[in-house]
Amino acid sequence: MKLISWNVNGLRACLNKGWMDYFQAQDADIFCIQETKMQPGQVELELPGYTQYWHSAVKKGYSGTAVFTKIQPLRVAYDIGKPEHQGEGRAITLEFADFYLVNVYVPNAQRGLARLDYRLQWEADFRAYVQALDAQKPVIICGDMNVAHTEIDLKNPKSNVNNAGFSPQERAQMTALLDAGFVDSFRYLYPDVTGAYSWWSYMFNARANNAGWRIDYFLVSKRLAERIEDSQIHAQVMGSDHCPVVLEINL
């Protein structure tokens, strides 16, 4: 089974930069996107063979997630079960016969860590949510998790300590999520690989210099770890400040 996740940083813009060519060439079983920045009806995608699930933010041009799947889910749920986290379109859960898929766009702590308190509460509630799913059947979590977990996951760790996405608090939350029963699929296969990033700032020629961060993930329940066949970062694919990440898994 092939799953793809991509923060498109505005789907309408990404559609003009080759998104459909990539989508069709990859022929994924499930394709998840984050930061759609769209309201219902703003784009009509023709994706033969796929069922589409959209979750938009109330605020126009902000956040939003979507899942396109060849495999019909048993059930679909939106958000993470807490009313205080509704309205930003940050999570879609699809239940299949043998696993859950959670497509997520984790809140950014923002400049100066202005939204860190909310982010930490969201993390705690999200962890409880996926643990409850994991108690029923295995879980695959994908999306922009807005954190570089360890120093190997970004180009310039020393200068980014206490910046959003690399604060000790956010990194600790990722550690807690993994400790709660999940595996980072990329590091499971490639524990020591450096220079593997999924996001680059638009400033300072960051992408040309590969001065990036790995903040887009596929996490899987530990009992699925041995089923991982590959976990890829398609850094050559343009169209967004993020690139797609890919999970191939034997389910």
**Whole-angstrom distance, CA of residue 79 vs CA of residue 196:** 30
Burial class, 211, CB count within 10 angstroms (exposed 0-12 / middle 13-18 / buried 19+): middle
- C-alpha span between 89 and 56 (Å, rounded): 5
For residues 56 and 40, is the Cβ–Cβ distance under 8 A? yes
The pLDDT tens digits for 128-159 are 999 999 999 999 999 999 999 999 999 999 99
Helix (H, G, I), strand (E, B) or coil at 61: coil
Could you give the CA distance from residue 167 to residue 117 in angstroms, rounded to a whole number? 12
pLDDT, residue 152, reads: 98
> Rounded to an integer, what distance in angstroms lies between the CA atom of residue 21 and that of residue 24?
5
Largest CA distance in the chain: 47
Predicted local distance difference test score (pLDDT) of residue 15: 97
- pLDDT value at position 166? 98
Tell me the β-bridge partners of 65: 34, 55
Catalytic annotation on 29?
no
Euclidean distance between CA atoms 242 and 141, whole angstroms: 17
* Catalytic hit among 22, 105, 129, 217: 105
Q: What value, to the nearest 5°, has the Cα angle with vertex 133 and ends 127 and 137?
A: 135
Distance CA 164, CA 113 (A): 6
Catalytic-role residue among 79, 144, 216, 241? 144
Question: Which segments in the chain show pLDDT lower than 70?
Answer: none
- Is pTM beyond 0.95 here? yes
Q: Mark whether 216 is an active-site residue.
A: no
What are the DSSP calls for 160-223, one per residue? HTTSTTS-HHHHHHHHHHHHTTEEEHHHHH-TT--S--SEE-SSTTTTTTT-EE--EEEEEEGG
Q: What is the pLDDT of residue 237?
A: 98
C-alpha pair distances (Å), 242 with each of 41, 161, 172, 226, 250 = 24, 21, 23, 27, 26
The pLDDT score that the predictor gives to residue 125 is 98
State the pLDDT at residue 78: 98
Q: What is the pLDDT of residue 176?
A: 98
Residue 3 β-bridge partners: 30, 247
Orientation of helix 116-134 relative to helix 168-179, angle to 10°: 10
For residue 18, the model assigns a pLDDT of 97
